[in-house]
Structure 1
């Protein structure tokens, strides 16, 4: 007689910590590229330092978002086949290696157009890694969390992302203060090289976390999908489309953290001040995001997410306008309001909101593919809006309209979703699959 399989114990706090640290490191790497794309790369990797160089630099930032849907299919497949933990260890190491290599690249003056080509290659590798990080960490934490605290614990995955953005901005503040010959020489490379150390620390933390009880139980019961993508597209394609549209909200983050930096310097805000705006807003978000996550466990995911989308659209024009008003206190206050008390609500809730649309069999794939296709809007937002005049005098109008449109799409899509705060973890996503099975039985 075969011995019964022992289901691993749920460890929500340990899972949340591992997700926080992994996301912080992954997105430190990801966001230092964003800061460099706004402030360094137009000079180092392109032939002229004008608007066209900035557009091309922001385009390299966006290339990662093209790679991410491709990586999502690959990473999602293995995340649902062999487990969340193993895939997350792989993505962490890939991000660290590609980031370190960026710091080693020669400039345009040294090798011409081969320099931006190599930059794009490294950025694509970053995108392949990032494709699975948030989806995998969110799936892992959700499946470790108690049923009534899923939103709170998964919010720490995105809070880790804010921690990475804070660290990235703090590292770049002294870099932009350096004399130009040092800043555009070795200075900008140091933050990329330092990532090797922090990746190693996060790897050691993540390695000590065991696989989720939900996944182990599914494996023990032989419920692992042989082709998760096939099951996903057959039973959950509507949810995938919904997640894609909701994920447009991520463009608020790149508008705030990358585009607004360039716009601020254009209207006379000091470069260091623009970076401090990002730091301060993200510091506040470290506290507000767990609050919003806890609130969503009480009143539901949909109202909190929709509030985050609507408030982001409403506050963005006031934030951008304040940059030209010669009042740093007002700008800081509106930065905190827009990001920490607006966008942070949707950002904190989406890991549980999206993840709860799918069953354990396809959760990693569903979240990864849906978010990464939707995140392409975030990736190309800076270059699109810059090309439309968003970083020139009066560009706040274009940026605000763009933000309003993507927030409206996200909010309307969220309203079409089922509220899942009271659905047990073991039952998540099964209603869709059972409806399909019932229909097949009838026919």
Structure 2
């Protein structure tokens, strides 16, 4: 069983081609960041809307905890379909190339997001509204399942050895920029028409979804004007063994798949709490205004962008493992501190708790753009990196969202949710303890 593809020191692998020039590097970085920003913007505005209005628009007869569970359940649907998207688009990406796959996932995600913004509520079309919402969310999950791995591979496979962390920061930063951008868009809408107005419930929440149509053209233009990665191009010229990448990665690297999935499980659990649940908790349980929590999210998003980029760059010098490990340990501790801190209802305490949580996520998340692709062989790298990333999303991200409302309503209150989150992060710590360092790994098959 193989954990990473290494080049023997005595016979280094030949380079896949000359390093790209500065202009090409800028296009590569923009392509990997722009698409991820757009797709995760679509992803995060859905999460924000699920926290603020979906229980009223699509599940008005439920109310209370049941309505919140239903709203978060539609958000969690995407996590279930993300591994399916990883298998589907991983197969396409490992067979036909990274570039074509990224264009397809971008179009799917963008069109479904606009459709959600135009979807009538339950008051208009009844039960068809939540059914269609779940269907659109499932397609979004397929698209996101194929997006991240493609963007991360597009960046890392174009990077020279020793600088993959720096190149792969762009898809990671793209996701964190999207969080701040989504919060900012909702804040503008909220300040314009008011969070409790009938207009906000009727059409105001739809504006961020429809506006995403303007971003699709930008991402599509950038991705159409980039070349396929040299690592994939070189691999495509060699004799190809027949086989399905999904089966190949589990046959050749099962241990790596399981450990990489465990690593992402805890990180995704904290990301879901920070980006979705805390928005709902702060407004419904702590009495904070929508504008107030969105301002905190924007500040936290900016901090996450800076720390994510810094951690990715530093991983080229100090290694991926130490930085991700430090971030995960800090997240486990802060998960236990978080709810007692924000339950003081002090705006400063709430802001500190959320901003620090988001910043620590950046420390653990930044190096993953290089770390996960470095674990897998070129012939099934898209599938391996994407599937382990998205299986962690199901186990951690979706699981904690579905458990959040019942845990917070239990006798232990939100402290139970903090303990559960910390336990999931400790799974990541345990898996990371066993995984190898990959900074010096060659991405070229020998």
Does residue 1:167 correspond to 2:167, yes or no? Answer: no
Alignment of 1:141-220 (within 5 A): 141-177=155-191, 178=194, 179-220=196-237
- The equivalent residue for 1:64 is 78
Does residue 1:302 correspond to 2:321, yes or no? Answer: yes
Distance in 2 separating the partners of 1:101 and 1:278: 25
Alignment match of 2:294 (pick from 238, 259, 275) = 275
Q: Which range moves more in the overlay, 312-321 or 414-423?
A: 312-321
Deviation at 1:393, TM superposition (A): 9.6
Deviation at 1:8, TM superposition (A): 6.8
Alignment of 1:9-408 (within 5 A): 9-10=19-20, 11-46=24-59, 47-177=61-191, 178=194, 179-223=196-240, 226-248=243-265, 249-265=267-283, 266-340=285-359, 342-376=360-394, 377-389=396-408, 395-408=413-426
Distance in 1 separating the partners of 2:183 and 2:411: 25
- The equivalent residue for 1:439 is none
In structure 2, the CA distance between the partners of 1:233 and 1:393, relative to structure 1 (3 Å rule), is closer
In structure 2, the CA distance between the partners of 1:164 and 1:6, relative to structure 1 (3 Å rule), is closer
Deviation at 1:302, TM superposition (A): 1.1
Distance in 2 separating the partners of 1:45 and 1:224: 49
Residue deviations 1:374-394 (CA, integer Å, cap 9, x gap)? 10120232221112226x897
> Residue 301 of structure 1 contacts residue 419 of structure 1 at CA under 8 Å; is this kept in 2?
yes
Deviation at 1:149, TM superposition (A): 1.1
In structure 2, the CA distance between the partners of 1:6 and 1:300, relative to structure 1 (3 Å rule), is closer
In structure 2, the CA distance between the partners of 1:26 and 1:8, relative to structure 1 (3 Å rule), is farther
Deviation at 1:268, TM superposition (A): 2.0
SS of the residue corresponding to residue 426 of structure 1 reads coil
Residue deviations 1:179-235 (CA, integer Å, cap 9, x gap)? 521011111111111111111111111111110000000111234764222321211
Q: Which range moves more in the overlay, 221-230 or 416-425?
A: 221-230
TM-score of the superposition, structure 1-length normalised? 0.91
Structure 1, unpaired ranges of 5+:
431-443
Distance in 1 separating the partners of 2:242 and 2:249: 10
Residue deviations 1:279-330 (CA, integer Å, cap 9, x gap)? 1111012111111112211111111111111111211343333323343233
Deviation at 1:175, TM superposition (A): 3.2
Distance in 2 separating the partners of 1:163 and 1:250: 17
> Residue 296 of structure 1 contacts residue 304 of structure 1 at CA under 8 Å; is this kept in 2?
yes
In structure 2, the CA distance between the partners of 1:317 and 1:176, relative to structure 1 (3 Å rule), is farther
In structure 2, the CA distance between the partners of 1:393 and 1:15, relative to structure 1 (3 Å rule), is farther
Distance in 1 separating the partners of 2:257 and 2:26: 29
Residue deviations 1:223-281 (CA, integer Å, cap 9, x gap)? 47642223212111111111111111111111011111122121222222222222111
- The equivalent residue for 1:433 is none
SS of the residue corresponding to residue 184 of structure 1 reads helix
Equivalent pairs, count: 422
Distance in 1 separating the partners of 2:202 and 2:387: 38
SS of the residue corresponding to residue 202 of structure 2 reads coil
In structure 2, the CA distance between the partners of 1:333 and 1:225, relative to structure 1 (3 Å rule), is farther
Deviation at 1:7, TM superposition (A): 4.2
Distance in 2 separating the partners of 1:253 and 1:372: 13
TM-score of the superposition, structure 2-length normalised? 0.90
Structure 2, unpaired ranges of 5+:
1-14
> Residue 408 of structure 2 contacts residue 415 of structure 2 at CA under 8 Å; is this kept in 1?
no
Residue deviations 1:44-99 (CA, integer Å, cap 9, x gap)? 00123311001100000000111111111110000000000100000000000100
Distance in 1 separating the partners of 2:185 and 2:328: 29
> Residue 51 of structure 2 contacts residue 280 of structure 2 at CA under 8 Å; is this kept in 1?
yes
In structure 2, the CA distance between the partners of 1:200 and 1:279, relative to structure 1 (3 Å rule), is same
What's the Cα RMSD here? Answer: 1.9
